[in-house]
Every structure is written in C-alpha cells, then in structure tokens.
C-alpha cells in the first residue's frame, strides 16, 4: 500500500549551514547506474516479494496492529528525507510487514520498506527503536548505497573500455540494468552501515523519536546475535563499535529531538 502524505509534507530540512550529523558526498560510483532504472527494478522486485508473501499468507494486512504502527512511524520520518535526497519527493513510499522469524528489515531504492515480524517480536522494539531501524534502512536508500555498490561492481565487471560510454548507456546501460536482480540480496560495506546509522539517527530525531534508542537497540541486537548473527547483522560493524559511534554523535542530534519534543508539548 502506498503511503499518502500531506501535499506539503516533503520539505527540505537540510540548510546550507546545516545542523545534525556529518557525512561525505555520495560516491561517484553511483553515477554509473541510472537511478530511475534502479528504482524501477526495485519496484518490480518489491512487488514480487509481496506477491510471494501474500501467497504464503505471510503479508500483514492494512489493519494489522504492527502494520498500522510501522506506517504511522514512517509517516513521521518520510517528510524529513528530502534534505538528504531530492529524488525522495517523487518516491512512491510503501511500508509492509512480512511474517517471518528473521530479524531483518530493509528499504529498497525508491522508498520500498519491509519489516520482518521477527525483528519486532524477538527484540520487543519500542517505537523509538523501530524508528531507529527504519531510519537506518531509509538512509541506505537516500544515500544510494545500492546504486554505489552496483556501480563498483559495474566498474569491475564492465572494464575501463566501456566506462567511457556510460553517459550514453547503450550496452553499458543494459549491463547495469541486469544488476537489479541482486537487490534483495545486496550487501553493503561496513562504511555504508556506519553512515546509515548516523543519517538514520538524525532522521529519527527530526521525526520526534529519541535517538538514544540506538544504544538500547544495539544492546538487544548483541543479545540476539549470540551464536549465529541475525541476517540483519551480517555485514554490520560490531555492536560495541556502533554504540560508541552513536554515543559520540548524540550531541549533534539531541537538539533536533529536543526541538521536536518541545513542539509536541
């Protein structure tokens, strides 16, 4: 189901002299992959995933309490995405719940969000912790990490002789389009994950969720990851590392949360 937002909901929140976290520019490798092509591929794969879940009676209905909860949190976060990526204004956002004991969640390019029920039930996430997870996953899409990963793969596999023609696409464009089949299993680098932590923490804070929830979230993740790590943690930095990063960046985002909390009083 597409999320509907007020007409003026998506407003730029990042000014020239901005407050909040600091991350670098998007990777130049992302320019090797057409954004609209990637987003169309993501839309197709997301729809296929939902169809399969529905066929297995594992797709949460619109009136499911957790679906309503997830979509309500998303509606608070999404208006703050445009400052990180102007393309977000035209994304057709979706949030769905998949019945599975996996501790997992993701946001595909173009704003296609999915949570597995296991991450909610096994970790007993608070709303602030759900917003932390959602902000993290949305940050991957906003920062175009999938596009960057595929661009790096393309640079490796296409070869320098074809890179000069990338702006004209042609055969190169077709090759890049084929990388879309990897979206559902794409793994990000540790630097991508760390960046998504920071951007996601800021998104949550701007939306009125306590960014300190990142600490309790990763404490819960540390307990869940004893033995075999959950899928969501497969390429992530260690819990202690990201908790330290979150704590060191809290002074940058707590004022944003404080302002939002003050407005809601």
Bridge partners, residue 106, by sequence:
114
Q: What is the DSSP letter of 62?
A: T
Torsions phi, psi for 143 (to 5 deg): -85, 0
CB 33, CB 151: distance < 8 Å: yes
Q: How far apart are CA 130 and CA 136, in angstroms?
A: 10
Q: Which among 77, 83, 88 is positioned nearest to 23, based on CA atoms?
A: 83
Torsions phi, psi for 160 (to 5 deg): -60, -30
CB 228, CB 176: distance < 8 Å: no
- Residue pointed to by tokens 């680098």: 189
Strands (E), the chain: 94-98, 105-108, 112-116
CA dihedral 242, 197, 130, 112 (to 10 degrees): -140
HSE of 37 in the Cβ direction (CA atoms, 13 Å)?
A: 19
Catalytic residue among 39, 129, 137, 148: 137
- In 10 A of CB 118, how many CB atoms? 20
Bridge partners, residue 59, by sequence:
98
Q: What is the DSSP letter of 227?
A: S
Q: Is 94 a catalytic residue?
A: no
Sheet containing strand 112-116, edge to edge, reads 94-98, 112-116, 105-108
Query: Annotated active-site positions, please?
Result: 137
């Amino acid at each position: 189901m597409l999320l509907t937002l007020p007409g003026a909901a998506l407003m730029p929140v990042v000014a020239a002299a901005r407050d909040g976290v600091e991350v670098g520019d998007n990777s130049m490798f992302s320019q090797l992959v057409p954004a609209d092509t990637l987003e169309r591929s993501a839309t197709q794969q997301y729809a296929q995933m939902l169809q399969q879940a529905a066929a297995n009676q594992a797709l949460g209905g619109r009136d499911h309490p957790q679906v309503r909860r997830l979509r309500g949190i998303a509606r608070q976060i999404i208006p703050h995405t445009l400052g990180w990526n102007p393309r977000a204004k035209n994304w057709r956002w979706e949030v769905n719940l998949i019945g599975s004991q996996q501790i997992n969640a993701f946001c595909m390019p173009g704003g296609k969000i999915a949570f597995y029920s296991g991450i909610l039930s096994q970790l007993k996430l608070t709303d602030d912790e759900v917003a932390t997870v959602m902000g993290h996953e949305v940050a991957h899409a906003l920062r175009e990490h999938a596009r960057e990963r595929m661009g790096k793969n393309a640079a490796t596999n296409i070869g320098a002789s074809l890179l000069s023609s990338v702006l004209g696409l042609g055969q190169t464009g077709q090759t890049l389009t084929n990388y879309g089949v990897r979206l559902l299993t794409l793994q990000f680098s540790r630097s991508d994950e760390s960046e998504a932590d920071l951007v996601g923490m800021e998104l949550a804070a701007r939306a009125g969720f306590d960014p300190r929830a990142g600490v309790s979230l990763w404490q819960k993740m540390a307990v869940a990851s004893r033995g075999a790590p959950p899928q969501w943690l497969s390429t992530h930095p260690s819990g202690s590392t990201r908790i330290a990063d979150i704590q060191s960046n809290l002074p940058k985002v707590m004022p944003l949360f404080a302002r939002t909390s003050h407005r809601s009083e």
